[in-house]
Structure 1
Amino acid sequence: MDLCVTIKGVSFLLQTGMGILGNTVVLLVYAHIIFTEPKVLPVDMILCHLAFANLLILLTRCVPQTMTVFGLTNLLNDPGCKVVIYGYRISRALSVWITCMLSVFQAMTIATAGPHLSRLKPALPFLVLPTFAALWLFNMAICIAAPFFSMAPRNGTVPAFMLNLSFCHVDFKDNLSYVINGVAVSGRDFAFVALMVASSGYILLLLHHHSRQVRAIRRSQGGGAETRAAKTVVTLVVLYVFFFGINNVIWIYMLTETKVPPVVADMRVFFSSCYASLSPYFIISSNKKVKAKILCAAEQDQPASMDTQESHDK
């Protein structure tokens, strides 16, 4: 195995391992919160769902990609490729949509209540679960075409309009289908990224120009917590937009070239998965509730380990 392949393999392995660990920890913490606390904040439900979507991205894209880099071939047959590609398309769409939902929800939460918003705000917590259901159903419907183009890798030359994912191929048959798919996916993502950027910009504007008013209005409603949540949301959006920009620059290049070097495709996979891998660690470091649960679990585990050691010493 040459140096380039080794670096690529180690990079994917670290990204996949760290991402799965981080998202699993976030999911376990929020599962504990949901089952032990009488009231769960809507933002916690959204962050939990975001961690689940990001975990699916890593399992359906990064795990098989990492295994392929290390020389494991014939991982999936045609039905397996169809399931994996379909799952990846849904989870990738959910990741951007839920991040957008998080940004819009937080902007509406901290916004100064007008005549229309004052009637909508009390209903926001009750709209979270129906929105999740609608997002799943809608994305399952719009991604339904992906399995029809997916297949296991074939021996021989890869056609010009086939998307080579190493572990699976996506055959678009002709240039028109290839470009339409790329434009449709990028256009959809750009629309939601624009919405999340706009709502995050509104949050920053509100926090900057009306900080005193916001503190006064929210003091009795936990304004400090809302402000921290707003800053967390804005940072998550910035993180997503950064990696989204890199990913789409590479994707546009791939759309305009008929023969793309494999290293370019690998770079796109890596950067497109960075948000799924890094976002849980930012949630852990910035969310006091999640951090407190993890520290509490660690403190409970430490005395148990010490008691076990003492019993062995005796």
Structure 2
Amino acid sequence: MDLCTTVKGVSFLLQSGLGILGNVSVLMAYAHIAYVESHLQPVDRILAHLAFSNLLQLLTRGVPQTMFIFGLHNLLDNSGCKMVIYAYRLGRALSICLTCMLSFFQALTIAPSVGSHLTKLKSRLSQLVMPAFLGLWILNMMVCLAAPLFSIAPRNSTVPPFTLNLGFCLVNFGDNLSYVVNGAAQSTRDFAFVAVMLASSGYILVLLHKHSKQVRSIRRAQQGTSMEMRAAKTVVMLVVLYTMFFGIDNVIWIYMLTVAQGPAVVADLRVFFTSCYATFSPFLMISTNKKIKERMVCAAGEQAAEDSTEKPNTK
């Protein structure tokens, strides 16, 4: 194994390992919060769902990619490729949709209650979360059907034209029209959701600026409003993080649409930058979300207390 392959393999291994650890930690923290409080706020439910979609991405793309780089070829047959590619596409699609949903819901949460319609909508936000989840799952399960239909296991070193070479699997679209139409449909969906999340985040930033001016003049803010504003800042940071990696991802993706057969190293770069959001976002949640941080500190303290009680008394 040459140095380049080793560096690439270690990079994917670290990315997948850290991302899986971070997202599992977020999910466990929210599971405990839901058990203790028997209720999660709408934004917390979306964050937990986002951590699940990120975990799905890393398990179905980062892990197989890492195994392939380290020489474990022929991992999947045709059916296995279809299942893995479908799960990955679904997880990736849910990630962008949930980030968009998160920014939109948070913008509604902190928006001034002007008018009876907005007041009613804000009071029903917690009831709208589950229908929104169901709608996003159904939408993306239908949109993501195309790529798995074209997914096959690699049979030899030859890669046909108009094929996405993922290493452990191939997505062979057969002709230029299918190749471009699939890419355009995916990009259109992604850009639409990114536009909504950027608009929502821009509105959140405006409200945060107004809130900051009010706090400086009043010198004190209500606790509930302060908590909402902290959550809003977390949402904006997640949107900025996603948009940054989304931009890199789509520059590479547009390049791949312009060539009949993209090099494997380009596909690897796209996978790496696409998965960066799934890896870094849980650590952003942990560092900025007080509930998750307190739950993890509490769990660490409980574990330390159990370990100390299990030690024999040497006096």
Pick the TM interval, shorter chain.
Answer: over 0.9
Instruction: Give, in whole Å, the separation in 2 of the partners of 1:289 and 1:238.
Output: 22
Matched, 1:157 2:161: no
Instruction: Give, in whole Å, the separation in 2 of the partners of 1:259 and 1:38.
Output: 52
User: How much does 1:214 deviate?
Assistant: 8.1
Kept in 2: contact 1:33–1:40 (CA 8 A): yes
3-state SS, counterpart of residue 124 of structure 2: helix
Deviation per CA, 1:231-273, whole angstroms, max 9, x where unpaired? 0000000000000000111111111123432211111100000
C-alpha distance 39-259 of structure 1, shift in aligned 2 (>3 A): closer
Q: Which residue of 2 aligns with 1:266?
A: 268
Instruction: Give, in whole Å, the separation in 1 of the partners of 2:215 and 2:64.
Output: 47
User: How much does 1:160 deviate?
Assistant: 1.3
Q: Which residue of 2 aligns with 1:170?
A: 171
Q: Choose 204-213 or 66-75, whichever is displaced more.
A: 204-213
Q: Choose 167-176 or 255-264, whichever is displaced more.
A: 255-264
Q: Which residue of 2 aligns with 1:56?
A: 56
Q: Alpha carbon RMSD of aligned pairs, Å?
A: 1.7
Matches within 5 A, 1:135-284: 135-212=136-213, 219-220=221-222, 222-284=224-286
Q: Choose 154-163 or 28-37, whichever is displaced more.
A: 154-163
User: How much does 1:306 deviate?
Assistant: 2.0
What is the letter of the counterpart of residue 240 of structure 1?
Answer: Y
Instruction: Give the count of matched residue pairs.
Output: 312
Structure 2: gaps of 5 or more residues: none
Deviation per CA, 1:118-137, whole angstroms, max 9, x where unpaired? 12110111100111111111
Matches within 5 A, 1:66-105: 66-105=66-105
User: How much does 1:83 deviate?
Assistant: 0.6
What is the letter of the counterpart of residue 22 of structure 2?
Answer: G
User: How much does 1:220 deviate?
Assistant: 4.9
Instruction: Give, in whole Å, the separation in 1 of the partners of 2:211 and 2:286.
Output: 28
What is the letter of the counterpart of residue 260 of structure 2?
Answer: T
Deviation per CA, 1:185-219, whole angstroms, max 9, x where unpaired? 11110110011001000000111134455898x95
Kept in 2: contact 1:214–1:223 (CA 8 A): no
What is the letter of the counterpart of residue 234 of structure 1?
Answer: V
Instruction: Give, in whole Å, the separation in 1 of the partners of 2:290 and 2:21.
Output: 19
Kept in 2: contact 1:207–1:214 (CA 8 A): no
Instruction: Give, in whole Å, the separation in 2 of the partners of 1:291 and 1:271.
Output: 27
Query: Which contiguous aligned blocks of 4+ residues in structure 1 show a shift greater than 6 angstroms?
Result: none
Kept in 2: contact 1:247–1:268 (CA 8 A): yes
Structure 1: gaps of 5 or more residues: none
Between the aligned residues of both structures, percent identity stands at: 63
